[in-house]
Chains A and B, each alone.
Chain A
Amino acid sequence: EPEVTQTPSHQVTQMGQEVILRCVPISNHLYFYWYRQILGQKVEFLVSFYNNEISEKSEIFDDQFSVERPDGSNFTLKIRSTKLEDSAMYFCASSKRRGGGNEQFFGPGTRLTVL
């Protein structure tokens, strides 16, 4: 069964460094999402992406964040200058359709540790 994959599974970086988190959504899906979960807190929506542009973003998704679909398979989240508070689990998700009841399929997550 097709799955969303994410790499790396764990990323350690120094504060101020740029990181790129990678995701490969399910191949026939059109809608892509990033969520994050700070340890002990809720999973929070960051951004959604469709037709090569951001369709919605949360307050968390400030100018330090960007997303891109550089080719037909990858979907990336870039954090330009990481802060300690960016340490979290980052989940990518994709869905085939837009409707509210349509399932979002999640990847296993990337644990980002900012030192």
Chain B
Amino acid sequence: AQTVTQSQPEMSVQEAETVTLSCTYDTSESDYYLFWYKQPPSRQMILVIRQEAYKQQNATENRFSVNFQKAAKSFSLKISDSQLGDAAMYFCAYRSAYTSGAGSYQLTFGKGTKLSVIP
């Protein structure tokens, strides 16, 4: 079974600064997907960025980028030029690329990191 670990329950960053959220995972699979979801207070989770394990290039979405280290099973999220709207709970998640039968592609989540942005 896959596990996802986020070792930082809370983080804070000064507005306009850069912050990195850590995530490690454990799997025996070679092909999978990794995701970062953002959950603002009282709002739904939205996808921030995804990474395909077979792609060596790190994914980037505007101010959000990842550092994907497959051998180390590490998938950190870097937020550059932090804004007040970035304050949220951030979840790292894993999803297999393989299924059996109809398959469901369930997401396996970490416990989350609560990010505060200081004005």
Contacts and interface: CB of A to CB of B under 8 A. Distances in A.
| Bind each other | yes
A33 B104 CA distance: 9
Interface residues of B, number: 30
A104 interface: yes
A103 B95 CA distance: 10
Interface in B33-74: 33, 37, 42-47, 50, 52
Contact of A56 (B37, B43, B106, B110): B106
A25 interface: no
Interface stretch (A13-21, A38-46, A62-70, A73-81): A38-46
Main secondary structure of the interface of B (DSSP, over half): loop
Contacts of A72: none
A55 interface: yes
| Interface-central residue, A4, A41, A43, A55, by most chain B CB under 10 Å | A43
Interface of B: 4, 32-33, 37, 42-47, 50, 52, 91, 95-99, 101-112
Given A45-B106, A95-B105, A101-B50, 10 more contacts: A43-B109, A45-B108, A48-B104, A55-B102, A55-B103, A91-B44, A98-B105, A103-B50, A104-B107, A106-B45
